[in-house]
Amino acid sequence: MILVIDVGNSRMKWALHDPRGWLAQGALPNQEIGTLSLRDWQNLPRPVRAIGVNVAGEAARVRVEGQLTRWRLPMEWLYATSSACGVTNRYDKASQLGPDRWASLIAARHRALDDPRAASPCIVVNAGTAVTIDALDIDGVFQGGLILPGIRLMIEALAEKTAALKVPLGTYAHFPTSTSDAIYAGAIHAICGAIELLRLKVRHDDALVRLHARLAAVDRADRQAQELERLLRGRGPREALHAEARRLLGVALLPGEVPEAVVDVVHRHQRRG
């Protein structure tokens, strides 16, 4: 059994996997990581390995590793490399690519190779506190990508920096007729527009650019993720939108992927004394 962990900016997602499939899974705010061994993990069977990614910093890393001491299990953190699992990393400094983005690219490539006849360029989207939009070409080369604020951060920035835009959270409309709805829809359109522009730059054939999206639920963002999913669906007859609005299963894998897809690129980074 493998315990797979994805520590995002705001929330940690985890799942326990064995050859039969997913045995258990969960998500919680990062500030509650210290409760895992006494709550969510109290009755879990002991995993053989624990692998994961962390973009929340040193404090989150230490808290996660502390929860694994109940099993005397070392944590194996995933970092980006120059190439792995059929993906080539063209970042100027390969190791600076976020491990969550790297794992998502590997998962998208792994899915594409399931059916070589359907191989195509793809856009890999991770939407949570921040949004990343990455381009992967037909040969598995990561061409580059975008980072922008998530929906909640956009709305909070407007409320913080302006006097007249501190308004209740709105709802989505194609043509908003209130300030609340205009702000909410504007944030969603900003993300969808960035995705669409990157698609235009990488596609060779409208029908052959796939979209792999992982939409996170962060606080009130469950409804926001659903809006993004709805707007991104149907962008082409051969595209595949893989969205999970309620739970992210660890290591930034797309739904249906197995942890073994990224185990080969895990590097052991045990805490130095």
**Cβ–Cβ < 8 Å for 23, 17:** yes
Residue type, 26: G
Question: Which of the residues 6, 40, 92, 100 is marked catalytic?
Answer: 100
Give CA–CA dist 58/204, Å, rounded: 42
Phi-psi group of 19: left, alpha or beta (phi > 0 → left; psi -120 to 50 → alpha; rest → beta): alpha
Number of H helices, E strands in the chain: 6, 11
Structure tokens at 30: 């990062």
**Cβ–Cβ < 8 Å for 232, 268:** no
Closest listed residue to residue 135, CA positions, set 217, 52, 83, 197: 197
In the residue annotation, 100 being an active-site residue is answered as yes
What amino acid positions are annotated as catalytic residues?
100
